Amino acid sequence: MLVVLSGIVLAIWIYLLCARGSFWLCSVRDRQEVVAAPDQWPSVAAVIPARNEADCIGASLGSLLRQDYRGAFSIVLVDDESSDGTAAIAREAGAAVRPDRAFAIVASSSLPSGWTGKLWALRHGVAVAEEKFKPEYLLLTDADIVHAPDSVSALVARASAGKFALTSLMAKLHCVSLAERSHVPAFVYFFQMLFPFAWVGQRHSSTAAAAGGCMLVCADALRNSGGIDAIRNALIDDCALARQLKTHGSIWLGLTDRVHSIRRYESFADVKQMISRSAYAQLQFSPLLLAATIAGMLLVFVAPPALAFFAHGIARWLGIAAWLLMMVSFQPMLRFYRLWPLWGVALPAIALFYAIYTLDSGYRHARRQGGSWKGRVHVNAPSLQ
């Protein structure tokens, strides 16, 4: 029985390394080739929804104000009922860094039923941007994201060359504390496993994903696909938008060193909150998918070291082989985040923590506490009861 189990586990890892879009190689990046500049730079408007982002908004907004983009570039910041002076800090940054930049701060109206807070603020910001600036592209970015000066230029060049409806960069997450070093690389690794970036970029593949911190969207494609209204209640709004836009054109998603998140996760409780917030939504609020996911994570990640330590004979060697493949597959991501290769040994334990966080996510939604973020709860999620 153990020999059969170990053979299944090893076969799964061979499939993941050889036939899952080479996700683990981290090869889909925005610097992997030179993208020719467009003949004429289109107009771009950045829209930033911000709720109580006083700690981050100055650096984030400043990085956008300093963009070296050669076309028309404007910024709309939506103050989503902040109580910490976010708007005042943004106003000071705008006046101090680039007073000549087209920049508007608007207040989001009260959140209506059936909308998540971020998407309601984003809808308001997009409407203002289209009315005031009439952009050809919309840069949807978060208030904790810092952009290199050439970030917008690189995004637009790639979007224009590929005629993409959506071009997204996976921001490099903050990875300094022990909680971050043990969880952040695995977070991106698991995301790529679920949505291989090479498949995301294939027009006829059903795989669609985006990273909400940095998304350049063709304004016409967004409008023709139903706009933000079409995903008004999506908790994982970036991937929902990617699915929506892929029906209207090609999309692209890649890793980057140009765009960084400055949001810190100092403790394990912070990381747990970040993951538990949306894990159950990824499973479509389904108890069956939750059970299957937990079983799958235990089989794929926990079984190999368990077999290596406790099985005997061929089953042990097959378990060791699967564990080695797992460690090998994690190395490119560890290099991307400049961490020691030995973190690969800990991937089964890290995956076990993620399984626990996923269970916690289902528990939170059963108690009508799912999707909690800065005082708001995703109340429209179905209950397990």
pLDDT of residue 383: 41
Least confident of 104-118, 131-145, 160-174, 229-243: 104-118
Tens-digit pLDDT profile for residues 82-137: 999 999 999 998 888 888 789 999 998 888 888 988 999 999 999 999 999 999 99
- Identify the structural domains of the chain with CATH numbers, from first to last: 2-23+271-366 (no CATH), 28-269 (3.90.550.10)
What is residue 371's predicted lDDT score, i.e. its pLDDT? 63
pLDDT at residue 374 tops 80? no
Q: According to the model, what pLDDT value does residue 385 have?
A: 38
Task: Render pLDDT for 325-363 as a digit per residue (tens, 0 to 9).
Answer: 999 999 999 999 999 999 999 999 999 999 999 999 998
What mean pLDDT comes out for the span 23-39?
85
In this predicted model, what pLDDT tens digit does every residue of 281-298 receive, in sequence order?
889 889 999 999 999 999
Question: The whole model's pTM is what?
Answer: 0.94
Tokens of 216: 């350049």
* Confidence label for 33 from pLDDT (cuts 50, 70 and 90): low
Do the beta carbons of residue 183 and residue 271 sit within 8 Å?
A: yes
pLDDT at 317: 97
Average pLDDT over residues 177-181: 97
**Residue 375, pLDDT above cutoff 70:** no
pLDDT, mean of residues 267-276: 92
